[in-house]
């Protein structure tokens, strides 16, 4: 017996053939209700946002980037310009002073910004994905009105703190503690590998509760960098993302009021996992931007570089590498478009987001490796940008879930060892309510 709701409502040759095989009488329309068709086209608004992000990358990120990258020098002014352009509030609702675009648009912005350089996409990941969107999901209305307007406009910058010197993939090994003291919590500990560590005005951090009856002894807080007991320090000597700011955070008897806690006591780990769903989405979409940048550089070089009287692009092994990059780009876009659509619909998407991040980051590193190969010895110098793509793409296979962690996650989902339970709080679906 045929399951009728699997088929679209318009007639087609396949439908007529199946009707005949099943013994249905010929009729002008299939005997079931109309369902919405799958649509891969971007809206006019999304196309305009993509174009705006592309132009921003070309005009506001790339000039002087090679020199900053070489000198390990970050550019805080770029972050201010991103705020003015509206990117830091792209998917924040208008009633919190955001642009109010959908979550696919966030992915498009991340793709085009990382097409220019990873530093801008990293800022989107921590400011928008890990911090602002998590606040949208878990914050009270008062907390959202207190913090989101400044974040959406770029008047303030935000970061995220989960990783510690002894707690990376094993987030349950956190040692940063929060001890209840009246209306405050006293926080002590350290976070490391924190993007915008020296620039962010506030951070969403995950702590272990020192004294609690909660089953899961973790809590999340938004802290201000001007709070007594807070300090930060930059990390030097990174392989990639050299034009970005990365550092450590230190908390020494730092008193934080209870109204800065996000969620309840015991919700900290769930808040962190929600944040990673948002951050991983921005990383997955940004990785497609690296693949596109590798294609831009490689196609140009393959058409200009000649060997034996013809462009190297005519060589089949070069074509094979170009084709592999195209494959990675197209698969990667479909994966992150799906996650963006699921976010718009308000659907749980941890599995799909992990798949997109895992697949796209590996494809980006492979594309960068092939881009270096196509450029030959020139690809081994910073005269061409492909060596920067190679260095930057390697980091994305480590942060926000290593390649190995996502491999295990996908296997456990398929084997039935891992399932996702409904969340207490969900990200607002799109269109946003007034």
Q: Which CATH architecture has domain 273-415?
A: Up-down Bundle (1.20)
**Rounded distance, CA 5 to CA 2, Å?**
9
Catalytically annotated residues: 400
> Is the bond preceding 307 in cis, omega lying within 30 degrees of 0?
no
Which stretches within 305-349 are classed as H helix? 316-345
Q: At what angle do helices 386-395 and 268-304 cross, to 10 degrees?
A: 160
pLDDT per residue, tens digit, the chain (434 aa), is 434 344 444 434 443 343 455 554 444 444 444 445 678 899 999 999 999 999 999 999 999 999 999 999 999 999 999 999 999 999 999 999 999 999 999 999 999 999 999 999 999 999 999 999 999 999 999 999 999 999 999 999 999 999 999 998 888 899 999 999 999 999 999 999 999 999 999 999 999 999 888 788 999 999 999 999 999 999 999 999 999 999 999 999 999 999 999 999 999 999 999 999 999 999 999 999 999 999 999 999 999 999 999 999 999 999 999 999 999 999 999 999 999 999 999 999 999 999 999 999 999 999 999 999 999 999 999 999 999 999 999 999 999 999 999 999 999 999 999 999 998 899 999 999 97
The domain covering 49-156 belongs, at the CATH homologous superfamily level, to Acyl-CoA dehydrogenase/oxidase, N-terminal domain (1.10.540.10)
Which of the 8 DSSP states describes residue 403? H
**Domain 161-268 matches domain 273-415 at the CATH topology level:** no
- Class for the domain spanning 161-268: mainly beta
For residue 197, with 0-12 CB atoms within 10 Å meaning exposed, 13-18 middle and 19 or more buried, which class applies? buried
Domain ranges (residues) in the chain: 49-156, 161-268, 273-415
């Amino acid at each position: 017996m045929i399951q009728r709701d699997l088929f679209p409502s318009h007639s087609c040759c396949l439908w007529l053939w199946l009707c005949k095989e099943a013994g249905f009488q010929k009729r002008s329309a299939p005997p079931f209700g109309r369902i919405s068709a799958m649509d891969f086209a971007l809206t006019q608004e999304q196309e305009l946002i993509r174009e705006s992000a592309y132009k921003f990358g070309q005009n506001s990120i790339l000039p002087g980037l090679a020199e900053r990258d070489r000198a390990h020098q970050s550019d805080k002014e770029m972050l201010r310009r991103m705020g003015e352009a509206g990117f830091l509030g792209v998917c924040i609702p208008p009633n919190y002073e955001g642009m109010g675009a959908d979550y696919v648009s966030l992915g498009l912005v991340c793709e085009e910004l990382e097409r220019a350089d990873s530093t801008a996409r990293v800022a989107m990941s921590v400011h928008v994905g890990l911090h602002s969107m998590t606040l949208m999901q878990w914050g009270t209305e008062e907390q959202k009105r207190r913090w989101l307007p400044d974040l959406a406009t770029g008047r303030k910058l935000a970061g995220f703190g989960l990783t510690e010197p002894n707690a990376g993939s094993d987030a349950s090994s956190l040692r940063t503690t929060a001890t209840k003291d009246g209306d405050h919590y006293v926080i002590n500990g350290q976070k490391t590998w924190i993007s915008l560590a020296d620039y962010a005005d506030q951070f969403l951090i995950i702590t272990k509760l020192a004294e609690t009856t909660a089953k899961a002894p973790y809590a999340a807080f938004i802290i201000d960098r001007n709070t007594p007991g807070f300090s930060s320090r930059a990390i030097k000597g990174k392989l990639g993302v050299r034009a970005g700011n990365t550092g450590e955070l230190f908390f020494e008897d730092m008193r934080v009021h209870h109204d800065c806690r996000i969620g309840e006591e015991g919700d900290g780990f769930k808040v962190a996992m929600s944040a990673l769903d948002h951050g991983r989405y921005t990383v997955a979409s940004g990785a497609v931007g690296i693949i596109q940048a590798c294609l831009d550089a490689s196609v140009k070089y393959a058409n200009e570089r000649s060997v034996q009287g013809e462009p190297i692009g005519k060589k089949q092994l070069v074509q094979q590498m170009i084709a592999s990059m195209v494959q990675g780009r197209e698969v990667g876009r479909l994966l992150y478009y799906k996650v963006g659509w699921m976010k718009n619909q308000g659907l749980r998407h941890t599995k799909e987001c992990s798949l997109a991040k895992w697949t796209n980051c590996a494809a980006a590193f492979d594309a960068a490796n092939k881009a270096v190969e196509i450029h030959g010895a020139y690809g081994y110098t910073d005269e061409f940008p492909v060596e920067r793509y190679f260095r930057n793409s390697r980091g994305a296979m480590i942060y926000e879930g290593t390649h190995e962690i996502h491999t295990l996650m996908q296997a456990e989902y398929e084997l039935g060892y891992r399932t996702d339970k409904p969340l207490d709080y969900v990200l607002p679906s799109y269109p946003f309510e007034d």
